[in-house]
Structures are given as structure tokens and as C-alpha cells.
């Protein structure tokens, strides 16, 4: 049985609380052995029925990154139009991706056919494969933070276009496009969107319910 010292346990919590979504990167390359550790950490995530539905596409060349970044540019522009001023201008000031700048991009996908047709534990919750893939992303993200590597999850993309650029089979779902690299200005003390005044962290006491759902607590 694996046990942890007090220092090791504290390091786990420190990594969780210090994880940040990074958008600005230095050009320094990520050593291959470091990248391998991050990928192996992702692959050791829990998965429904031990199906391991993820694949990881490592993107290094500038041409492919530029093609993905162009998709993001259009998605960001479209999203911006959904806001009214002054939020629209505030949105425009946010940096939402670092696809071109980051030394490495990793696209994490989900194959819903892996282990099919009978994946243990997925009969009544079909999206458990996607949830499992997200756990692989979190494993990679936390391992990266421990290594001093920044990660940014780019959600302003059109998955069908990403699939075409990366040659992903039609039945496989692109779940997360990640930018990896060493942060340009280090890791901030608080989430960037919180620092920029976009949103505040919710109080955990408002989100925990005992026994059953107790409704919104903001009016208590």
C-alpha cells in the first residue's frame, strides 16, 4: 500500500491550489522527458470501465498551430459579438489562448467506441467517456504545475474544424486543446479572470449540500 508523508500530502494540495490557466508563454522548449512524464500522468487517470478513451495529439510545428489559431481567432470574434458594452470591450482585452506562442500544443480526444459495445459503468451515463477524458486533462494539468510547466485550455474553438486540421477520425471527439509551455511571467497568485475582475471565486459553503439539494443560498 502506498502511503504519503506529511510533506508529500501537502505538496498535492499545494499543486491543486497553485494550478493556473496560462495564456502567455516563453519560447523555451519543454524537455522531452518532462513531456513524457506529463503524458504518462494523463494516461494514469481513472476511466469508466477502465476504458481509457483518450488519445493525445502532440502538435509542435508552427504551420499546424497557426491553422488551429486561425480557428480560435474566428471563434473568439464570434463570441465577442455576444456581449454588450462595456463587457464586450472587457472581453476583447482578455487573452484567451496562446496557441502560436506555446512550444507544444496537445489535443486530447475521446473515442466513445473504445471498449464498446459494453463498457462497464456506462450503460446509463453515456457521457462517462468524456468525463473520464477530462480527468486525464486534469492529471496532465496538475503534473505540469508540479513541473513548473504552464497549461492553457483553449475552449474557443470549433471542434469539427479542429478535427479536420488534425486528421481526427469522425467518431472521435476533440475534448481539450491544451497549450503547454513555461509561463512568460510565472504563475499568478490568483486565477487570471479573478485578477482581471471578470468573476470571483464562489464561496464553497454556498455549493455544499447535506443530504439533499437545499436550493440557492445567496438569499440566506
Percent of the chain at pLDDT > 90 equals 81
Answer yes or no: are the C-beta atoms of 15 and 147 closer than 8 Å. Answer: no
Which tens digits make up the pLDDT trace of 119-158?
999 989 989 999 999 999 999 999 999 999 999 999 999 9
pLDDT of residue 217: 54
> Per-residue pLDDT for 175 more than 50?
yes
pLDDT of residue 216: 62
Alpha-carbon distance 116 to 183, whole Å? 40
Comparison of pLDDT for 26 and 219, the residue scoring more: 26
> Per-residue pLDDT for 193 more than 90?
no
Mean pLDDT calculated for residue range 62-91: 92
pLDDT of residue 220: 47
Which tens digits make up the pLDDT trace of 37-49?
999 999 999 999 9
Q: Which domains does the chain have, with CATH numbers?
A: 27-186 (3.40.109.10)
> Per-residue pLDDT for 65 more than 60?
yes
> Per-residue pLDDT for 218 more than 60?
no
Amino acid at each position: 500500500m502506498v502511503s504519503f508523508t506529511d510533506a508529500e500530502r501537502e505538496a498535492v494540495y499545494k499543486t491543486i491550489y497553485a494550478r493556473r490557466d496560462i495564456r502567455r508563454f516563453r519560447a523555451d522548449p519543454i524537455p522531452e522527458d518532462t513531456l513524457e512524464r506529463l503524458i504518462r500522468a494523463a494516461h494514469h487517470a481513472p476511466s469508466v470501465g477502465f476504458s481509457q478513451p483518450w488519445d493525445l495529439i502532440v502538435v509542435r510545428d508552427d504551420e499546424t498551430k497557426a491553422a488551429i489559431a486561425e480557428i480560435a481567432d474566428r471563434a473568439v470574434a464570434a463570441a465577442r459579438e455576444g456581449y454588450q458594452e462595456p463587457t464586450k470591450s472587457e472581453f476583447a482585452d482578455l487573452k484567451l489562448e496562446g496557441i502560436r506562442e506555446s512550444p507544444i500544443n496537445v489535443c486530447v480526444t475521446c473515442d466513445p467506441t473504445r471498449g464498446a459495445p459494453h463498457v462497464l459503468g456506462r450503460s446509463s451515463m453515456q457521457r462517462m467517456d468524456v468525463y473520464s477524458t477530462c480527468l486525464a486533462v486534469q492529471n496532465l494539468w496538475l503534473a505540469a504545475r508540479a513541473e513548473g510547466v504552464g497549461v492553457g485550455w483553449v475552449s474557443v474553438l470549433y471542434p469539427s474544424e479542429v478535427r479536420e486540421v488534425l486528421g481526427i477520425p469522425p467518431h472521435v471527439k476533440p475534448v481539450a486543446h491544451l497549450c503547454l509551455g513555461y509561463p512568460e511571467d510565472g504563475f499568478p497568485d490568483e486565477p487570471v479572470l479573478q485578477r482581471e475582475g471578470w468573476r470571483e471565486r464562489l464561496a464553497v459553503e454556498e455549493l455544499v449540500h447535506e443530504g439533499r439539494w437545499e436550493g440557492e443560498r445567496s438569499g440566506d
